[in-house]
Structures are given as structure tokens and as C-alpha cells.
Chains A and B, each alone.
Chain A
């Protein structure tokens, strides 16, 4: 594993850039544990200070340090994204592998359900869930809802990989050796499905973070818990653009775009590493 990482860093520029970007943003987010003030405290600092030596990214109209707010916000946003990704991977792997392995009617039924879920518009349903839950809404509930809506594309992908494994020699051997279906799936097939899971996880993480930003920008999350979208929400509430407090909006946007870029570069370079066909085109170059 370490050797693969080293080779990727050395020979794949996209991976190296993505890795460095994501790692530095992660370290920046980690720093919020050493923040001088609690991230929910407001009006403790002079408001609307432009970037200076004392407040590198300025302060908000609510008297918060933009730098430390961002550190907490990225942490919370990433935490939300990772929760969604892990939960939805569990669903995608379970449905995809079962569907691919069982085949026949089960496969048909599961994939019909899957395609039905894909055709449902996510955002209106999420908004409806938020609307009816309102005050009892917390970020883990929102993450669970998002996870329930975000597994179906990848279940299809995982299914097609499992489908091809089903007819391979070693599967038949495992069946003859008396292994149960869960045993075959976990011990024999999971290692082959792992790269697909990893690749889809990167894309799902990007999607989930985007979702969090979108919902909290609209104020549809716990608005007192700092997140990237939440910062933009408060900036909009205080008309930061019209008031000329540009740093309140610009720095969160730059941070989130850099994070997306880093994750995206990681996703495509990992995909290239996994997919032999794109590897071939690189060799030919």
C-alpha cells in the first residue's frame, strides 16, 4: 500500500497535486482543535475587520475570526461528507454485490428498485425531509437521509463487477467447497470489488460535500454549527457582498473549491490506476 502511494506520488502528477491539496486542507481543518476561541462564540471580536496581520482572513459581521471559523467549518463539512460516504457505501456494496451474485429474479427486482431510486429527484425529497423535521433536524439525521439517496449509481457499478466474478472459476470452487453466500461475497469477491468501492467513495464524498454546502447555504441545517455552506449563509444574511465584507464569502469559496479540486484529482488518478484501459493509453503516450 505504501509502495503504491509512493509510486503514484512520483509518476502521476494529478495524484500528487490532489494528494497535497487534500492533505493540506485536512491539516488546516485539524487545526481547529487548537483554536483560541470556541467556534460557536459570536461577537467576541471586533466585527467587519479586513484581513490583517492579527486576523489573517479578517473577521465576520458577527465578530468571528474567518480563519478559525473556516478551520472548524471544513472539519464539520468533511465529517458530514465522510459519514454519508461510509453509510451509502454500505448500502451500495450490499445491494450491488447481492444483486450481482444472486442474479435472475433477485437481480431484476433489486435493479428495478435501484433505477427507480435514481429517477427520484434528490433535492426536493431532502428538502421535504428537512421541512417536516425542522427543529428536530440534526446533521447525523441529514447525513443518513443523504446516504439513503446516494447509493444507487454505485450499486449498479458494483453489481456489474460482481456479475463478472460470479461466472469465474474460483467462485464455483468456493461453492463446491461449501462456502456460504456471505462468506463467498466477503472473502472471495470483496477484494475484487474494493477498487470500485474506493473510486466511487471519492466521487460520493465530493457529491455529499456539495450537498452539505448546498443545504446549509440555504440555512437548511443546524445554522449554529459552523460549516462552509453555513458561513456563506450567515454572510448572505448580513448582506456581506453589498456591505463590502468580501473576505467573509471569498475565503470559504476558495477553500471549498480547492478541496473539491483536490478530491477530484485524487478520484480521477485513482480511477486511472484501477482501470487497465486508461492505463494502456498512458503507456502508449
Chain B
């Protein structure tokens, strides 16, 4: 069944996700359970673009980005669809060719993990991480590699002496900068970031966001990142996609989405943001995110939606092109920006 419409594709796309379905499939002591964490998602990301994925916790956004990164382990499995990269003419199908995928990691594609406080091996010095991850992709001598890494750290604002430290000797902010340095040292074409700033305090967060944006512009890489924090999206994303209950419900240029949200859920997310000089009372959305093991029929947002009509309860709205973006809502035209 074709319930999604392709966004207009340019020849300059780096990532194409098509009809991706990834489910948690569990079978334990005779009890079968299936959780549709990623349910029929299609999206395209262009060169030099920062694409943000937003949604509340347990909306499936983290499963989506893990599936894109080829970072899923059972019981989460890809059931249908594909994830394809195009690194300047070199094509890579993530789930068709694991060998090529492994070879492309860090060379073309790097990853910044959620909770990256603990991504460094606690019993080894930091320099070993750079060596393990990046050395084989550089094709240069040990000493040249070392000075390359030191230069890179310097640019990012880290003292190259951190290379001789153990992770527990560094502060949280320094460790986060280090993982960003590690993810960018090979100058990859594409960076995937899962909640890159969530664990940081607000000041360090601003710092790290500026750093990510700066590196991206200098290297000309594309970034896809996930966070529930809409202010982060507003700060660095070129386009954003809104995920609700495992589905992409809206997508568009950041400014347009913030000014004229087309899906009632997006409108709610944006209206709940605080704004200077605005004293209006914020209302919480009634209800909880749906249980993905047993999602509601029709549009999954309908039990919480103020605009829901009978059609929303029975028929699932397709994601269709509308104005500058795409939206999946039967009443998209009637949504009011808050």
C-alpha cells in the first residue's frame, strides 16, 4: 500500500530512506510481542544539510536514527524498506552490504551517540580511541596521524594533552567535545547524532551546538540528529521532521515549520515553547503517547487531537507534499499556529 508520497528528490541527496519499517519482535516463553518503533518512514537528506528529527520520548525517534545508522540489535529488526547513502557517486545500501557498511564507517559516515559521557573506553587513554577509529582511514604514518589529530583537537578548542588522559580524568563537557572531535576527525560526508547535547548543562550545550554547526560548515558534511528539545532544532537544523508514534507526521524547512506548523501535534510542540514577552498560559497535551505494541487505528494522534473527526479514527492519513514541506493529517489546512 502506498501511503507515503516521495518528497521531490534532488540529484544532490546523500541519504534516502524508503518505506523503512523496523519492529521490536519478541518471543519469550510463548508470548509474542511486536512493537512498531519505526513504521513506514521515507525521507531524503541533501548534501550540506542539517536535518533534525523531533518528537517526545518513546515516539520512536531514537529507533529511527539507530536504524538509519545500522546500529540496531535484536530484538529490533528491519522488516521492510531500505536505507541508502550516496557518498559522491559511491552508493551504499546499509542493510544489503554489511562489509561495505563497515568499511564506510568513520571514513564516510560517523556517529555521535546518546549519553556520550560513557562512549570512551574507561581503561584506555584517549589517544587509543582516535587510533582505533580513524588511523586506518587516513593512510598516513603514525607521527603524521598524531599531529593531524592534535591539529584537529586544537581547532575544536581542546588541549592536545587530553590524548594522554583517561576518560575519568576529563569533565563531561570535555568528553562531549572529544566525541565530537572523534566523530569529525576523518572529515566524513555524513554525521548521525543521537541526542548530542541532552546530557549537558545549558551553557555547555550552546557551546557544543555552535561547534557542531561550525564544523559542519567547514567540512561541508550533512548531519541528521535527534533531540526532543525544540530549541536545539531551532538553533541549528535546516529542515526538521516530526515523529509521532513511529511515523513521520510532518517535515519542512525549520523556519516554515516553526512559523506555520501544519500538523496539530507540531503546533502543540511549538506552542509549548517559552517565548520572551509572551505570558500566555501553556497547556499540556492531554493523554500519553500511544503504546506502540497496540497503536490506535487511523491517525495515531487522534485520541489526543483537538481537531479529530471520524475519518481520523478510521483512516491513516498519508504523508503528502503541502506548501514547502510534507504533512500527514486529514485536517492539515485547518491547523492554527499558536
- Across the interface, which residues of B come within 8 angstroms of A282, CB to CB? 28
Q: Is the CB of A7 within 8 A of B30?
A: yes
CA distance A196 to B26 in the complex (A): 25
- Across the interface, which residues of B come within 8 angstroms of A279, CB to CB? 28
Q: Is the CB of B74 within 8 A of A11?
A: no
Q: Is the CB of B27 within 8 A of A283?
A: yes
Q: Is the CB of B30 within 8 A of A283?
A: no
- 6 residue pairs A–B, Cβ–Cβ below 8 Å: A7-B30, A11-B29, A283-B75, A284-B73, A284-B74, A285-B74
CA distance A8 to B30 in the complex (A): 10
- Chain B proximity of A147: nearest CB distance (Å): 34
CA distance A279 to B27 in the complex (A): 10
**Is A105 among interface residues, defined by CB-CB distance under 8 A?**
no
- Across the interface, which residues of B come within 8 angstroms of A277, CB to CB? none
* Closest B residue by C-beta to A281: B74
Q: Mark B24-66, 1 if CB is under 8 A from A, else 0.
A: 0011111000000000000000000000000000000000000
**Is A173 among interface residues, defined by CB-CB distance under 8 A?**
no
* Closest B residue by C-beta to A282: B28
* Closest B residue by C-beta to A8: B29
- Across the interface, which residues of B come within 8 angstroms of A7, CB to CB? 29-30
- Chain A proximity of B220: nearest CB distance (Å): 39
* Closest A residue by C-beta to B33: A283
- Central interface residue in A280, A282, A283, by most chain B CB within 10 Å: A283
Interface positions of A from 125 to 151, Cβ below 8 Å from B: none
Q: Mark B58-85, 1 if CB is under 8 A from A, else 0.
A: 0000000000000001110000000000
- Across the interface, which residues of B come within 8 angstroms of A168, CB to CB? none
* Closest B residue by C-beta to A11: B29
CA distance A70 to B236 in the complex (A): 77
Q: Which 10 A-B pairs have the closest CB atoms?
A: A284-B74, A11-B29, A283-B26, A7-B29, A283-B28, A283-B75, A284-B75, A11-B30, A279-B28, A283-B27
Interface residues on B, range: under 10
CA distance A8 to B73 in the complex (A): 26
Name the contact of A10 in the complex, choosing from B27, B30, B74, B75 (C-beta under 8 A). B30
* Closest A residue by C-beta to B27: A283
- Across the interface, which residues of B come within 8 angstroms of A285, CB to CB? 74
- Central interface residue in A7, A282, A284, by most chain B CB within 10 Å: A284
Q: Mark B194-226, 1 if CB is under 8 A from A, else 0.
A: 000000000000000000000000000000000
CA distance A70 to B74 in the complex (A): 48
* Closest A residue by C-beta to B30: A11
Interface positions of A from 1 to 44, Cβ below 8 Å from B: 7-8, 10-12
* Closest A residue by C-beta to B25: A283
- Across the interface, which residues of A come within 8 angstroms of B75, CB to CB? 280, 283-284
- Across the interface, which residues of A come within 8 angstroms of B74, CB to CB? 283-285
CA distance A154 to B325 in the complex (A): 60
- Beyond A8-B29, A12-B29, A284-B74: 6 further Cβ-contacts under 8 Å? A10-B29, A10-B30, A11-B30, A283-B75, A284-B73, A284-B75
Interface positions of A from 245 to 268, Cβ below 8 Å from B: none
CA distance A282 to B74 in the complex (A): 10
- Across the interface, which residues of A come within 8 angstroms of B26, CB to CB? 283
* Closest B residue by C-beta to A7: B29
- Chain A proximity of B284: nearest CB distance (Å): 22
- Chain B proximity of A42: nearest CB distance (Å): 51
- Across the interface, which residues of A come within 8 angstroms of B28, CB to CB? 279, 282-283
Q: Mark B211-247, 1 if CB is under 8 A from A, else 0.
A: 0000000000000000000000000000000000000
* Closest A residue by C-beta to B76: A284
CA distance A173 to B28 in the complex (A): 34
* Closest B residue by C-beta to A285: B74
Interface positions of A from 152 to 184, Cβ below 8 Å from B: none
CA distance A262 to B320 in the complex (A): 62
- Chain A proximity of B79: nearest CB distance (Å): 15
CA distance A234 to B99 in the complex (A): 64
- Across the interface, which residues of B come within 8 angstroms of A10, CB to CB? 29-30
CA distance A279 to B30 in the complex (A): 13
CA distance A283 to B24 in the complex (A): 10
CA distance A12 to B30 in the complex (A): 10
* Closest B residue by C-beta to A280: B75
CA distance A219 to B75 in the complex (A): 54
- Across the interface, which residues of B come within 8 angstroms of A284, CB to CB? 73-75
- Chain B proximity of A278: nearest CB distance (Å): 11
CA distance A7 to B74 in the complex (A): 23
- Across the interface, which residues of A come within 8 angstroms of B73, CB to CB? 284
- Across the interface, which residues of B come within 8 angstroms of A11, CB to CB? 29-30
